[in-house]
Amino acid sequence: MSTDLDQVIVDALEERELTYQRREGDRFFVTLPGTKKLQTNCWLILTPHALLVEAFVCRRPDENHEGVYRWLLQRNSRLYGVHYTLDDMGDIHLVGRVGLHAVTDDELDRILGQVVDAADGDFNVLLELGFATSIRREWAWRESRGESLANLRAFSHLVSDSGSDTAG
């Protein structure tokens, strides 16, 4: 059965033109494209009873841990097939489990779509909640050196014209 499911996964990944590497037999390391988070690395792991989905989203927040974790728990109720969790270091991941009977092209499309939607769509919110001070510091440093602020523009509301802390 594993060989059939392997082929379903390979066909689904190739049909969507996703970059992937097959590792250790039934493990697939997939790179999912994004816009806010430029890419999300995702593992698809076939076990004897389920397909496991694991994706790194964001490192451990620098600040506002309670606010970040509250937001993640509330967001979990609106996710399909995956949920947010933390590893031992406090880094944020999406994880899920699909029964082997449900591993189809359509289900893989839904699950991978949800991973991209969450990891990419939630990325800036997580940065704002957990890294606002670092964003402000980086903004000020780049401004003082005349460096590009292009990839920080989404966070301009965290920085006032006077440089004072307005998003606290």
- Are residues 82 and 121 in contact, defined by beta-carbon separation less than 8 angstroms? no
Quick check: 162 pLDDT over 70?
no
Tell me the average pLDDT across 26-51: 95
Specify if 76 maps to a domain. yes
- Give the integer Cα–Cα distance in Å for 79 and 46: 21
Specify if 147 maps to a domain. no
Please tell me the predicted confidence (pLDDT) of residue 133: 93
- The number of residues in the chain equals 168
> What domain range is 10 assigned to?
2-126
Specify if 163 maps to a domain. no
Which tens digits make up the pLDDT trace of 47-65? 999 999 999 999 999 999 9
Specify if 61 maps to a domain. yes
**Structural tokens at position 103:** 């591993």
Specify if 52 maps to a domain. yes
Specify if 165 maps to a domain. no
Which CATH number belongs to the domain containing residue 22 in this structure? 3.30.1460.10
Quick check: 114 pLDDT over 50?
yes
- Total number of domains in the chain: 1
pTM score of the predicted model: 0.87
Residue 74: half-sphere exposure toward Cβ, Cα within 13 Å? 8
Specify if 38 maps to a domain. yes
Which tens digits make up the pLDDT trace of 57-87? 999 999 999 999 999 999 999 999 999 999 9
Specify if 150 maps to a domain. no
Could you tell me what percent of the chain has a pLDDT over 70?
Answer: 93
Report residue 163's pLDDT band, with 50, 70 and 90 as the boundaries.
very low
Quick check: 138 pLDDT over 90?
no
Instruction: Write the single-letter amino acid at 112.
Output: L
Mean of per-residue pLDDT scores for the chain: 91
